[in-house]
Structures are given as structure tokens and as C-alpha cells.
């Protein structure tokens, strides 16, 4: 992994995942380790993502590294018409590592080919967001003590949800059973279902999760966005079918945990937050440890 960019979750092998998760567990025990003294990391956010940027910057700061960069394209030379290539060529001479988010798909892969330092993809449009996937894996492993043979429920927007697609690919290494619960308009795309069939992984599709939620080990919630619907009436009819509230959790498994990539809007009621099965805020916190692990292993320190 040393000096290798992390653009897509498939850039890492199953062994790489476990290595990252092990290092992340060490950082969770002892988050402030000055391993990046004298190192500079660029956080180039060509579109704003406060949550992801703060998580990366927290990780870098806890490691004692310095951060330079910008938090949206308006404050960078992009507004002057500079190409991505030129921006990356310039920054690559200033830093030891680039973390970048970009609204266009494939931007991070391209940057990794132009840069002479490693690039970590912090989201490229609807394509990939591998550090999110690794922190999801970490959260699943930590709460279930294993990644193997779990019942994974994915609820909400499964069509456009980049996080669920990457998580599906990564979890497919561990013989899961998937339950996809979504409105018809936002079903899991065929290419992913085909992928599961080719790998002999069981999956089931439902419109409603209540009859089956007792089977879940992990419930992965996503936001159902109004703008995804071609028919606004359809949205009004379906929006409340994918909202989780505390009373729905009564008959769920003891080990069951609710994950969400955040930001949440209304798909998880506030009354769930106090339930010990709600894990999304801890999941976000885990993101810092996982990003510490990724950064240090790419820089060859861990």
C-alpha cells in the first residue's frame, strides 16, 4: 500500500482491508501519535463536504501533520479556469500526500496519474468514496466482532447511493446475505445484482423492511432524496416508508446496529439516537481512526 493511491475500494485487496482495520484499532486506543511530524498533506475539496474534510483534517492533526488546501472550488484557481491537471501538478510539488474531493467522476483516478505523490479519493461524484467504505467495514467489524456471514440490510436510495455500492463490493469478500429495501424507482442497479450472482452471494429485495427487520445484523440507512424521483407524487407516497423510528426496533437482534453515512435528514427519527443500537455518530468518529490508518500506511509509516 506504500506510495499507492487509494482511488477505488477495489484498489485494495481483502488483506489490505484487514491491515487497515487493525491499524485503525491501534489508533482508536491511542489517537494522538505524532507520526507525521514535518509532513504536509493537501486537502483539495473542489466541492464542499464539511464532514469528510473535518474528518481527514482531524486525522492529520492528530498525527501531527500540517494541512494546506481549500474547502470549495470558489476559493481555488479553478474559478480562473485552471485545469485539474495543472492544479494537481502544482500541488504535488508542495506536499507529501493529496486528499481530494471532486464533483466529476474519475477525477481522482486522473489526479493519481498526474501527481507524483499518492492521492486519496475523498469522493468523486457518484463514483467512489473508499475511505467511507473502510470506515463502514471498521464499524461493522467492531460491532459484530466479525465481517463474516452477516445479514446486511440496505435501506433507502440504493440506485444512486455510492456508499452502498462500494460497501456491497467490499462486503462481498465475507459471505454476507444482503437485504435491499427501497422504492421501485431507487432499486439496486442490475450490475451489482449480477456481481452478487456471479459471486454466489444471496440477496433479497423488498419494498418494506418491517416484516423482516428482526433478521438484521446491520441496518445501513441512506437518505431518500426528493430530487431523485421523476414523479413528486411518488416521492410523497414513499418517503415515510423508509423512515426508521425507535418503536420499530423492538424485536430486532441484540447485536443489531444502525449505520448511516450522514448527513441524516429525517430517515432516522431523533428518538432512535438514544437507543444503544444507533451507531451512526460512533461510526463517524471511527472515520478519523480509519483515515489515520490509511494515511500512515500510504506514507509508509505504519
* Footprint on this chain of other proteins (rule: CB under 8 A): 8, 83-85, 102-107, 109-110, 124-128, 191
Closest distance of CB 169 from other proteins, Å: 11
Closest distance of CB 19 from other proteins, Å: 24
Q: How far apart are CA 17 and CA 11, in angstroms?
A: 10
Angle between the N-to-C axes of helices 107-114 and 84-91, in degrees from 0 to 180, rounded to the nearest 10: 50
Closest distance of CB 288 from other proteins, Å: 27
Q: How far apart are CA 57 and CA 256, in angstroms?
A: 31
Decide whether 110 or 235 has the Cβ nearer to other proteins: 110
Q: How far apart are CA 192 and CA 87, in angstroms?
A: 34
102 belongs to the catalytic site: no
291 belongs to the catalytic site: no
228 belongs to the catalytic site: no
52 belongs to the catalytic site: yes
Closest distance of CB 81 from other proteins, Å: 12
51 belongs to the catalytic site: yes
Q: Where are the beta strands (DSSP E) in 118-231?
A: 119-124, 151-155, 177-181, 203-206, 218-221
> Which letter, b or e, does each residue of 256-272 get, where b requires 16 or more Cβ atoms within 10 Å of its Cβ?
bbbbbbbebeebbeeeb
Closest distance of CB 89 from other proteins, Å: 13
Decide whether 110 or 203 has the Cβ nearer to other proteins: 110
Angle between the N-to-C axes of helices 162-171 and 190-198, in degrees from 0 to 180, rounded to the nearest 10: 0
Angle between the N-to-C axes of helices 130-144 and 14-29, in degrees from 0 to 180, rounded to the nearest 10: 70
Decide whether 68 or 104 has the Cβ nearer to other proteins: 104
Closest CA to 148 of 184, 173, 131: 173
Catalytic-role residue among 39, 53, 102, 129: 129
Catalytic-role residue among 52, 87, 92, 143: 52
Closest CA to 9 of 128, 150, 111: 128
Decide whether 128 or 182 has the Cβ nearer to other proteins: 128
Task: Give me the DSSP letters along 48-66.
Answer: --HHHHHHHHHHHHHTT-E
Catalytic-role residue among 39, 53, 62, 101: 101
Decide whether 82 or 236 has the Cβ nearer to other proteins: 82
- Give the active site residues: 51-52, 80, 101, 129
Amino acid at each position: 500500500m506504500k506510495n499507492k493511491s487509494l482511488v477505488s475500494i477495489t484498489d485494495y485487496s481483502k488483506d489490505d482491508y484487514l491491515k487497515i482495520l487493525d491499524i485503525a484499532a491501534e489508533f482508536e486506543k491511542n489517537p494522538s501519535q505524532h507520526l507525521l511530524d514535518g509532513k504536509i498533506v493537501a486537502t483539495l475539496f473542489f466541492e464542499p463536504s464539511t464532514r469528510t474534510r473535518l474528518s481527514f483534517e482531524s486525522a492529520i492533526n492528530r498525527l501531527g501533520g500540517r494541512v494546506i488546501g481549500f474547502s470549495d472550488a470558489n476559493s481555488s484557481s479553478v474559478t480562473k479556469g485552471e485545469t485539474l491537471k495543472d492544479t494537481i501538478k502544482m500541488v504535488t510539488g508542495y506536499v507529501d500526500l493529496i486528499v481530494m474531493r471532486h464533483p466529476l467522476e474519475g477525477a481522482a483516478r486522473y489526479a493519481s496519474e498526474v501527481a507524483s505523490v499518492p492521492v486519496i479519493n475523498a469522493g468523486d461524484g457518484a463514483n467512489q468514496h473508499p475511505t467511507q467504505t473502510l470506515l463502514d467495514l471498521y464499524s461493522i467489524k467492531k460491532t459484530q466482532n466479525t465481517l463474516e456471514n452477516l445479514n446486511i440490510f440496505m435501506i433507502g436510495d440504493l440506485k444512486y447511493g455510492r456508499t452502498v455500492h462500494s460497501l456491497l463490493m467490499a462486503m462481498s469478500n465475507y459471505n454476507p446475505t444482503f437485504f435491499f429495501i427501497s422504492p421501485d424507482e431507487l432499486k439496486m442497479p442490475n450490475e451489482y445484482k449480477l456481481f452478487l450472482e456471479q459471486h454466489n452471494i444471496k440477496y433479497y429485495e423488498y419494498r418494506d423492511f418491517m416484516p423482516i427487520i428482526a433478521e438484521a445484523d446491520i441496518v445501513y440507512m441512506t437518505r431518500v432524496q426528493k430530487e431523485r424521483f421523476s414523479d413528486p407524487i411518488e416521492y410523497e407516497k414513499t418517503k415515510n416508508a423508509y423512515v426508521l423510528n425507535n418503536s420499530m426496533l423492538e424485536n430486532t437482534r441484540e447485536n443489531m446496529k444502525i449505520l448511516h453515512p450522514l448527513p441524516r435528514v429525517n430517515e432516522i427519527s431523533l428518538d432512535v439516537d438514544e437507543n444503544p443500537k444507533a451507531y451512526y455518530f460512533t461510526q463517524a468518529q471511527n472515520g478519523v481512526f480509519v483515515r489515520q490508518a490509511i494515511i500512515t500506511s500510504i506514507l509508509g509509516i505504519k
